[in-house]
Amino acid sequence: MPIEVGIWKIGKQLSKIEFHPLASEAKLEKTLVADLSLLGSDLMLIGQQVTTAFGKYIDLLAMDSEGNLVVIELKRDKTPREVVAQALDYASWVDGLSYNEIAELYAAHNTGEEFEKGFAEVFGSSPPDTINESHQMIVVASELDPSTERIINYLSNNYGVPINTVFFRHFADNGSEYLTRTWLIDPQEVETKASKSTVKKKQESWNGRDFYVNQGESLDMNWDDCRKYGFVTGGGGLWYSKTLNHLYRGSRIFVNIPKVGYVGVGIVKETSVMVKDFKVEVDGRMKPILECDLIGKQLGNNSDNPDLSNYAVRVDWIKTLPRDQAYWEKGLFAQQNTACKLRSQFTIERLVKHFGLEE
């Protein structure tokens, strides 16, 4: 069961803001189209009311930064069997879409814009060479009956089907409107179970915890600063900074300096913020990182520009190495993205052994 959400207004006495269903599912769909980040992660909208090969319509079809498709279906007035069966039916069609077919769908729903250009605008990089290696289904609802909850939990828990429900509740108070969001199942848990149970392996499964971080070095970024003050950083453009948003509290990161090797492993303590807002503990008190003694003297370049600023993620280091002791061997994973899910089991096993970690 999802957690019940309540909102109270504080005044002379507490007054609860009452929940009201949205005036229409169309309003919620319109809200999602305007900003898919309501679903909690970076998503690119491929199209709305996308026609399948068998004449049905997917409410919203989206793609994540790794090129995987997301079927988003609003419950509306469908029965439990209808909404789940419909999502599964659409997923079976989505599973077979090729790169060219996805590009054609995107162009058809975005006034002819090229798929590659749209992807770059949203994620700040070119799409992967291979896309649609996996997919997921999200049922959007304001309320859900116990039968539908049981079906979705059964499919996810027992068979690793990548399906989940997100609940949006609508609150109104003195002319202002609010939305709250709750997941039926932790999205991280859904992805991990799906990765481990997929029969048709198109890519290595992700363990739901480990990330790769590409820690570049320049006049504004220095590994010694990162080691000393407990952070990783990226910036100078959204392509370099946006992927840091994937790192969540409690995730484990392995840090690689390009063309040098792996130099650290740690646990993320706080999510990405602009460097001007990032503080570290120095002599028992919190101090802005830009006021610290840094080797990367230009870390604060463009610090007031959200697109060009460097961003920092707080890390509790488990072990770090100076760059001259960096670890590298042929076959270890490396790529240009500042942060991404680390799926390479070979790399994880080698790093766990090299850094002396207990699994």
Closest by alpha carbon to 232, among 42, 246, 64, 291?
246
Q: What are the backbone angles phi and psi of residue 46, rounded to the nearest 5°?
A: -80, -45
User: What is the per-residue pLDDT across 33-80, written as a single tens digit (0 to 9) for each?
Assistant: 888 888 876 899 999 999 998 889 999 999 998 899 999 998 776 666
> What average pLDDT does this structure show over 89-105?
92
Confidence at residue 77, expressed as pLDDT on a 0 to 100 scale: 67
Span 334-340, average pLDDT? 88
Q: 102: number of CA atoms within 13 Å, CB side?
A: 26
- Distance, CA of 317 to CA of 244 (rounded, Å): 17
pLDDT tens-digit series, residues 295-332: 999 999 999 999 999 999 999 999 999 999 999 998 88
284 phi-psi bin (left φ>0, alpha ψ -120 to 50, beta other):
left
The whole-angstrom distance between residue 294's C-alpha and the CA centroid of its chain comes to: 30
Residue 244 has pLDDT above 80, yes or no: yes
Q: What pLDDT is attached to residue 201?
A: 45
Q: Which of 318, 345, 333, 311 is nearest to 264 (CA)?
A: 318
Counting residues of the chain whose pLDDT is more than 70, the rounded percentage is 91
Residue 13's pLDDT is: 78
pLDDT at 196: 63
Q: Give 200's pLDDT tier (boundaries 50, 70, 90).
A: very low
Predicted confidence band at 252 (pLDDT cuts at 50, 70, 90)?
Answer: very high
Q: For residues 71 and 15, which has the higher predicted lDDT (pLDDT)? A: 71
Q: According to the model, what pLDDT value does residue 293 have? A: 93
Residue 199 reports pLDDT greater than 50: no
Q: Number of helices and strands (H, E) in the chain?
A: 9, 17
Q: What is the pLDDT of residue 325?
A: 97
Instruction: Give the model confidence (pLDDT) of 139-166 as tens digits.
Output: 888 777 788 788 888 888 888 888 998 8
Predicted confidence band of residue 28 (pLDDT cuts 50, 70, 90)? confident
Give pLDDT tens digits for 134-146: 899 998 887 777 8
Strand order in the sheet with 339-341: 231-234, 311-320, 261-274, 252-257, 210-214, 339-341
Domains and CATH numbers, the chain: 15-197 (3.40.1350.10), 210-354 (2.30.130)
For the cut 60, the answer to whether the pLDDT of residue 187 exceeds it is yes
Output the DSSP codes for 243-310: GGGG--TT-EEEEEETTTEEEEEEEEEEEEEEGGG-EEEETTEEEEGGGS--SSTTTTTTTT-TTTS-
60 with 48: CB under 8 angstroms? yes
**Partner residues linked to 266 by β-bridges:** 253, 317
Q: Which residue has the higher pLDDT, 257 or 219?
A: 257
Is pLDDT above 80 for 191?
Answer: no
Identify the pLDDT of residue 129. 72
Mean pLDDT of all residues belonging to the chain: 87
Q: Which residues pair with 250 in a beta bridge?
A: none
pLDDT band at 25 (very low <50, low <70, confident <90, very high): low
Which helix (H) or strand (E) covers residue 118, if one does? helix 115-123
Task: Report whether pLDDT(264) > 70.
Answer: yes
